Structure 1
Amino acid sequence: MAGRDRDWDFLLRTISNSARDSNFAADPAADPSLLHSVKKLYELCKAENSEDLVARIYPQINKLFQRAVASMSQSRTSYGLLLLAILQFYLDFGDVVLHDADPSLRTFFRSCLSREFADSVVAEATLDFLNANKKKLLVSFPTLLPQFFPLLLKLIAWNGEKLEKSFRQIFPALISPGSFLPMFLSLMDLPVLVVALEKVERTSGSLIGSSIASIQQSTAPKMLLDLMDEAYTGSTIGDGEADSESEDNNTIDVADPLFLDLLKDENDGLTERHWTSPGMTAALQAAINSPQSDRLKQVLNIAPRLLDVYFAIALREVNDSIICALIPQLMSRVATTFPDKTFSHKVQKRLLEFMLSSFQRSPNFKPIMDRLGEAYDSPAKTELALQLCWAMGEYAGGGPSQKDAARELFENLELLLYENLSSSRLGLRQESNIGETSRCSSQSRLLCFVVTAIAKLATVHRELLPRARVSLGKPLWS
């Protein structure tokens, strides 16, 4: 026991002396012995299981945490591993010393991880820490991870597939009623996030050691003058003397609100992302015209797999009212994805499968029925309408007991049928170009699916038979 007393006494002196050492006082993480000391003290507390020992060690550990937080903004040294070691001490022994770890955890995310998410060592250690403490975080701090899910998505977007397995283990803990809807948009736009992060790296240097906010501030006062000029004259940052052939002029501008929304660290609720905005248009055009980076290629594979997890959780745990709120977002994005053919195919396939599963679970989802009229907006939405019409007939509006739901579905199918029968929808004008022929073919397929669905619904819900006879008895080509 005397030997262990000497051990922890020596380790505490190491921490205390570091605060007085002129070489490390202002940059404690630069002293490698501190991380070792914190870890050893933690291990001693675990081994001894002594509240007295924890109480004697805690003041020095806490002072070190406060000193590290105060020094980070002025240092280029990585603080991630040191703070994670201290946070583990807080989580395991906080009850003994009445320390609420919630503010410390949030400080870590805001002040440290926002600056070091691009550091692969810190990123991996952070995911290991979150997974090791997942149960405790969910019980004691249930809003923490859903609040910072945009920051954690930046972590996986930048570090790629080597951390995917670990990230997927913690990913369900990021989903809550307050993060469910904005999470969908963030997953859909994960490739665009990579484009934005790579833009920051090209224009401002390494992402490690500076938060996005500080990177924007680092160009002041020129950036400030540009922002003022934009506010008062309507000009765009980067106009004027910029080389029009520079590759950076083809990507998101740091002043674009979309850029700032993509790069945010915290969940601030559902925000509409305008894919027709100048920032998004420029970003997508640059992505099409430039070779894909390895990081972007990896995220194009990761995002669909994360959507699989997201939709599985939705069908298993999320109530109908929240899924109803998701449906309009999903249907608006089915034809609006990152412009990579393989990625678009994977994502659209998953959106369709989730839509059909949702419909099978709750066939009276009005958001689904209300969006059938958008079948003509794009080929992707037409294909979605085809599958939904098939589902309406296949699941028969929820079965014989769901008469009200079946009647509503029938009325929507009727409307779609009459729209298809009009010459304007079928394109019976005498145009012979390839695009018009393809459109007519799609509308003809949709008509067949609608007719089949009406017949199946009427077969199960026989009270609909008279209306079905009238609907299907109309001359299709008159």
Structure 2
Amino acid sequence: TYDRSEVDSSVMSMVSATSSSSRLLPPKERLREKAFEYCQRLIEQSDRKALKKTDTELQKACIVESVSVMDIICGEDPSYVYRAFPCIKALYGRLNGDLAYARALLPIAQFYLNHSEIVAVDSEAVFCQLFSHCPAEQFNEPMLAFEFVQFCLLNVSVLQDRVTNYRQSFPNLLKFLAWNSSGLIAEFVELLPSLIAPETAIELLHTILDLPCLAAALDLQSACYQASDRTAWDQQGAKVAACLDAFRQPLYRGLFLYILRPEAGTGDTIDRLKMLHEILADMAESPRVVRCAQVVPVLLHVYFNTVTQKADEKMMNQLLLVLLERSSQLYNIKTFNVEVQKVFSTHLQALCKLHPPLIVDQSREILELASSPANIYSKEDFYTHVVWVIGEYLSVSYDPRCTVERITSFFESLEAVLFEITQVRQSASPPSFSPRLITVLMTTLAKLATRSQDLIPRVSLCLSKMRTFACSAIVMTCYSEEDTEEIITRAHELINLLKLPNVAQFVLAPSAGGDGPRWHRDTNASLPQGMRAVSGLLHRHSSFLPT
């Protein structure tokens, strides 16, 4: 037993003493002291169970504001840090495992970030918990997602320097974007550069490409955990229900565990991506998946523009391999593949311009892609750019390893492709590729022939057949008159130019100033104006296209 009046009197005397001492302080310090005491009292009282839901929400808001105010006070006067830390630490210990209070963990984390060094407290466990559990378990809370990303943006430099698992946590952070893509794209465009680290840059690239798969997997995970929603999912049709069943099957567990992993470091990608895409095929039209797919090209541009500024030779080789590999391994969503391959094309050129020896370093993989006509029909734009960089950078002026044998190997592969796609047969179907591809192939073959002049007769023979192809009935039905004229004119110009091998070698040499105007109609398909002039001297009566 205890005497209540005795306890009450001791509390009153303590409050009275505190009030008396605080009255001696200047007004600003007195306000600070009173605010600090009030926040402490609110935090201490927040462990009482609220009777109504509205009271619970008010309680959470009071915790958030109280911790934030204490953080400001400690920033103005560091002497308060020693008084505040026991209270904040106890609060964190109480809220840590309660998902309902996830938003309250952010101001607590901010407090630790700002003041833990003063009292020599290790805050690693706080941030490990924050980045591991909040995004993984609360990705579908829009307000938390926004506040979490804002917290990262506000503290990005400190997180990079002091929180070891910040950059490792991008698989979790991207769950916020996968679920709330339209609302967070601007924030992630700003945040993404801070997540790029040399040791995880390649894994991050794969993760960005797999973002629509992540959106689909999160949808399935949410449905799986909410049994009451199963009826709603079944009503969407057998296809989506089949995806949900696949998500539950042990056979595919490893695939989904990887896509839903909480942190980086378990591997750059998985071997069975094609299988994952097949499993999720029926989710490809889900609104969330489609919205998520639309942000991927934007993030890819940000990623490549950032990583190429500091990438070394090894990193550039890895990036090029990912472009070549993933150009054929993308989730089949309407327009997604085409848009991603356009981004790949842009940055393939940028990578090769920064480091031309990449063509020789990855010659086996590049040759494998370029020698397959099937790649023309599945990814024409990317294939065209691959052919262009071969012609532009496979030169001894960039890399002494560009031997005659290597050049001949590339030449023969591209020659076979051009021969196959320009065969005129009665049974052949109309060409489904653009005239631009034909002109790029012709030009690249001519460029390679000038670097190994024994090949000039072969390319001249090949070019001489282009008029027959362009004027065939089947080609005339699908190409415009301007298109066919461009093919014929290009072939004619190249044939004329190759009659003077030394001049051709000069005109078709790799361009030194890639940033300046190339006097092209199309920078990837046409030839410099100088070639037109030389061709005109050789054959004055040729018809020329306007530049």
TM-score over 0.5 (shorter chain): yes
333, 336, 356: which one pairs with 2:329?
336
Mapped partners of 1:427, 1:91: distance in 2? 65
1:168-247 matches, cutoff 5 A = 168-205=189-226, 245=238, 247=240
Matched, 1:5 2:33: yes
Structure exhibiting the larger radius of gyration computed from Cα positions: 2
Give 2:269's aligned residue: 271
Give 1:39's aligned residue: 68
Matched, 1:303 2:296: yes
Percent identity for Structure 1 against Structure 2: 24
258, 261, 265: which one pairs with 1:261?
258
Q: Closer, same or farther in 2 for the Cα pair 1:105/1:114, shift >3 Å?
A: same
Q: Closer, same or farther in 2 for the Cα pair 1:320/1:408, shift >3 Å?
A: farther
Deviation, structure 1 residue 446:
6.4
Mapped partners of 1:408, 1:184: distance in 2? 34
Deviations 1:25-51 (A, max 9, x none): xx998833322221121121122x23x
Deviates more, 1:105-114 or 1:249-258: 249-258
Mapped partners of 2:267, 2:43: distance in 1? 41
Mapped partners of 1:456, 1:164: distance in 2? 43
Q: 8 Å contact 2:394–2:407 — kept in the other structure?
A: no
Deviations 1:124-147 (A, max 9, x none): 111111111111112223x42321
Give 2:444's aligned residue: 453
Matched, 1:128 2:150: yes
Deviates more, 1:383-392 or 1:132-141: 383-392
1:57-96 matches, cutoff 5 A = 57-70=84-97, 72=98, 77=100, 79-96=101-118
Q: 8 Å contact 2:338–2:379 — kept in the other structure?
A: no
Q: Closer, same or farther in 2 for the Cα pair 1:113/1:421, shift >3 Å?
A: closer
Mapped partners of 1:272, 1:408: distance in 2? 35
Structure 1: gaps (5+ residues): 208-218, 220-242
Deviation, structure 1 residue 63:
1.4
Q: 8 Å contact 1:69–1:111 — kept in the other structure?
A: no
Deviation, structure 1 residue 383:
4.5
Task: Let me know the Cα RMSD of the aligned residues.
Answer: 3.4
Deviation, structure 1 residue 94:
1.4
Q: 8 Å contact 1:389–1:413 — kept in the other structure?
A: no
Mapped partners of 1:403, 1:171: distance in 2? 37
**TM-score normalised according to structure 2 size:** 0.68
Q: 8 Å contact 1:369–1:409 — kept in the other structure?
A: no
Deviation, structure 1 residue 275:
3.7
Deviations 1:48-91 (A, max 9, x none): x23x2111111110111122114x2xx5x2x2321110111111
Q: 8 Å contact 2:449–2:456 — kept in the other structure?
A: no
The residue identity in structure 2 corresponding to 1:54 is: V
Q: Closer, same or farther in 2 for the Cα pair 1:101/1:29, shift >3 Å?
A: farther
Mapped partners of 1:176, 1:105: distance in 2? 18
Matched, 1:162 2:183: yes
**TM-score normalised according to structure 1 size:** 0.77
Mapped partners of 1:321, 1:46: distance in 2? 44
Give 2:43's aligned residue: 15
The residue identity in structure 1 corresponding to 2:322 is: Q
Deviation, structure 1 residue 114:
2.0
Give 2:456's aligned residue: 469
The residue identity in structure 2 corresponding to 1:107 is: Q
Structure 2: gaps (5+ residues): 1-28, 231-235, 466-547
The residue identity in structure 2 corresponding to 1:371 is: I
Give 1:225's aligned residue: none
Query: Secondary structure of the equivalent of 1:31?
Result: helix
Q: 8 Å contact 1:172–1:310 — kept in the other structure?
A: yes
Mapped partners of 2:33, 2:283: distance in 1? 62
Give 2:505's aligned residue: none
Deviations 1:409-450 (A, max 9, x none): 62442231454488xx5696967153xx548x78x9867644
Mapped partners of 1:23, 1:373: distance in 2? 66
Query: Secondary structure of the equivalent of 1:393?
Result: helix
112, 117, 129: which one pairs with 2:139?
117
Q: 8 Å contact 2:193–2:306 — kept in the other structure?
A: yes
The residue identity in structure 1 corresponding to 2:87 is: Q
Deviates more, 1:6-15 or 1:37-46: 6-15
320, 331, 339: which one pairs with 1:346?
339
Give 1:229's aligned residue: none
Mapped partners of 1:23, 1:334: distance in 2? 55
Deviations 1:144-180 (A, max 9, x none): 2321111111101111222211121111111111221
Mapped partners of 1:401, 1:10: distance in 2? 70
Give 1:239's aligned residue: none
Alignment length (residue pairs) = 417
Query: Secondary structure of the equivalent of 1:95?
Result: coil
Query: Secondary structure of the equivalent of 2:290?
Result: helix
Mapped partners of 1:271, 1:246: distance in 2? 26
Deviation, structure 1 residue 98:
0.8
The residue identity in structure 2 corresponding to 1:158 is: W
The residue identity in structure 2 corresponding to 1:309 is: V
Q: Closer, same or farther in 2 for the Cα pair 1:139/1:286, shift >3 Å?
A: closer
Mapped partners of 2:81, 2:31: distance in 1? 17
Deviation, structure 1 residue 266:
1.0
Mapped partners of 1:450, 1:246: distance in 2? 43
Matched, 1:147 2:168: yes
Q: Closer, same or farther in 2 for the Cα pair 1:431/1:409, shift >3 Å?
A: same
The residue identity in structure 1 corresponding to 2:93 is: Q
| Structure with the larger RCO, 1 or 2 (CA within 8 Å, 6+ apart) | 1
Q: 8 Å contact 1:131–1:170 — kept in the other structure?
A: yes
Q: 8 Å contact 1:156–1:163 — kept in the other structure?
A: yes
Matched, 1:54 2:47: no
Q: 8 Å contact 2:344–2:382 — kept in the other structure?
A: no
Q: 8 Å contact 2:178–2:214 — kept in the other structure?
A: yes
Mapped partners of 1:166, 1:271: distance in 2? 25
Q: Closer, same or farther in 2 for the Cα pair 1:30/1:114, shift >3 Å?
A: farther
Give 2:532's aligned residue: none
